[in-house]
A = this chain, B = another copy of it.
Amino acid sequence: MAQNIYDNPEFFAGYSQLSRQVHGLDGAPEWPAIRAMLPVLSGKRVVDLGCGFGWASRWMREQGAARVLGFDLSENMVRRAIADTRDTAVEYRIADLETLELPRASFDLAYSALAFHYIRDFNRLARMVHAALVPGGDFVFTIEHPVFMAAAHPHWIADEDGRRTWPVNGYSIEGERWTDWFAKGVVKYHRTIGTTLNTLIGAGFDIAHVEEFAPSPEQIEQAPALAEELERPMMLLVSARRKPATGEAVA
């Protein structure tokens, strides 16, 4: 079972104060880049893996999705998502993405924001999502960028000119990374970009778009602190498409 840090009271209290939790999607600087990668949502059946407070699930329904099913490991998150949602076409369930099984060919879009770097077995997950999507279905997700999470001590340093610099070590050594983030001992799983993409390809996806989030000049003008995100890649955004199996027609 995945570590359920979100139901640690200390973690949850801190996490709930993040701009993206208080202000929802507009509090996440990468949201415009994600939006640009999403397919047309009208009529789509969507699964939201790691739905948190349900911000994206509700937004997708507002964009015309026929049905949105959100899963999260955290009871705290799912309770609040249910409390904040007045739409019977949006449903939330508690589930561990390490073991979740979905019905076959039941979704047009699988979406996930900043959840999969908590998952040990991404290969199992990618194959499960592939089976749950219809042929031609989309898989759009974000994770912490492996460059952001590889190092033993992932924090800003200065180079010889005093420029903000991000340290990288252990990049090719995949597996657990322990960090203190709102609580002590949060465990994440480091995988190279190569591994993430090859796992998707091996599971039967075509890679459609890969983006390493960087703030736009307009975003930096409005929030100058974002400029530091030009120095390091913090998030990896991936869009993939489920290939039809041999003999399958694309929906």
- A residues near B (Cβ < 8 Å) are 147, 151-153, 157, 159-161, 163-173, 192-194, 197-198, 201, 206-212, 214, 229-233
Inter-chain contacts of A167 with B (CB < 8 A): 157, 159, 165-168
Known: A153-B161, A206-B206, A230-B173. A168 touches B147 (CB 8 A): yes
Q: Which residue of B lies closest to A233 (CB)?
A: B171
Inter-chain contacts of A211 with B (CB < 8 A): 194, 198
CB pair A201–B209 under 8 Å, yes or no, is yes
Known: A166-B168, A201-B207. 11 other contacts (CB 8 A): A147-B147, A147-B168, A153-B160, A159-B169, A165-B167, A166-B167, A167-B167, A171-B212, A172-B229, A172-B230, A193-B193
Copy number in the complex reads 2
Complex CA–CA separation, A242 to B212 (angstroms):
24
Complex CA–CA separation, A36 to B82 (angstroms):
49
CB pair B157–A152 under 8 Å, yes or no, is no
CB pair B165–A169 under 8 Å, yes or no, is yes
Q: Which residue of B lies closest to A174 (CB)?
A: B214
CB pair A232–B169 under 8 Å, yes or no, is yes
Inter-chain contacts of A208 with B (CB < 8 A): 201
Inter-chain contacts of A172 with B (CB < 8 A): 212, 214, 229-231, 233
Residue from B161, B170, B210 in contact with A194 in the complex, judged by beta carbons closer than 8 Å: B210
Residue from B153, B173, B201, B232 in contact with A168 in the complex, judged by beta carbons closer than 8 Å: B232
Residue from B169, B192, B197, B212 in contact with A166 in the complex, judged by beta carbons closer than 8 Å: B169
Q: Which residue of B lies closest to A228 (CB)?
A: B169
CB pair B160–A169 under 8 Å, yes or no, is no
Residue from B147, B165, B193 in contact with A210 in the complex, judged by beta carbons closer than 8 Å: B193
